[in-house]
Amino acid sequence: MRKTATRLADGRELIYYDRADAPARDAVDRRPLPPVTTVGELRRDRLLGDTVAIAAHRQERTYHPPSDACPLCPSREGRPTEIPAGDYQVAVFENRFPALAGEAGRCEVVCFTADHQGSFAALDDQRARLVLDAWTDRTRELSRMPGVEQVFCFENRGAEIGVTLAHPHGQIYAYPFVTPRTERMLHSLEEHRQRTGGANLFDELVAAEEADGSRVVLAGEHWLAFVPYAARWPYEVHLYPRRRVPDLPALDEAARAELPGVHRELARRFDRIFGPDMPPTPYISAWHQAPVHHPRRREFALHLEFFTIRRTPGKLKFLAGSESGMNVFVNDVPPEAAARRLREVASG
């Protein structure tokens, strides 16, 4: 892998990730961009203890542009974009409209491919591995930044999810705090450790799902994917490495080599759930990694949570009163039925 770092016209960092045999990326961003100004702050909910990012500048972010005005496509003569080069393999840059910035963290965009009509599922294993290597490298680098407590790599796909740019891409958030969801996992992890005299909750959960088998979707040599017993979403899969590690940089080469094919297979199965006549399935693909400085960091288990808000053809799962008001989910699809369907649509 070759990594080439440069700066955009307004000073934001841009990094190209290429195979070693790719041509050099040396194009200069000549757009007359003003300096990036963010008006945001972090506020703490005194009742729940949650942190909320207030980011009014995001109201002005690019919203569903036509394909010939996509800011994530390579630049062309007379049509400069966020990517100055005329082509690229994987590109990562600081978000122009970040939810977190400065002392309040950092947000980056990860472009998977120069092909506007592509998708993560359509990448070959070599390109998907390059995306994985970019996530890994950025996790390592962002974790070293002063004030960063947790790094979150994720992909939002589909307008129904809230995506405002159709080009295949993901994002990385570097939080200056440990997120509420991770705090709850850590609390359960510690509670279980004390109750059992040292057992790891993640290890027991993965072993129990494999032993039961009814919710297992995909079993590889180094990875196991299953629908969780108490799944919140209609179709939700959790993917764990068989050897517990805290984050992406800690994966060994064997797990790293198998992951691109496993991850792409999950994405392809999600696109087949509702039949060939349906548009691509909207989903969120979210990497849960251990907090950078937590004392129990080594006990946390890296895992991917992959889910869709579509419950049947033409119908979405909305977060209504119970979910949004009380955080109590009501799932219309039994996890065992979801797992069975995801096994049925495996690649032939």
- Positions marked catalytic: 169
The Cα 227–Cα 236 span in angstroms is 6
Coil, helix or strand at residue 267: helix
Question: What kind and span of H or E run contains 54?
Answer: strand 51-55
CB contact at 8 A, 33 and 150: no
The Cα 161–Cα 281 span in angstroms is 10
Order of strands across the sheet that contains 283-288: 2-7, 13-18, 90-94, 106-111, 169-175, 150-157, 283-288, 303-308, 235-241, 223-226, 216-219
Shortest CA distance to 343 belongs to which of 235, 223, 231, 185?
235
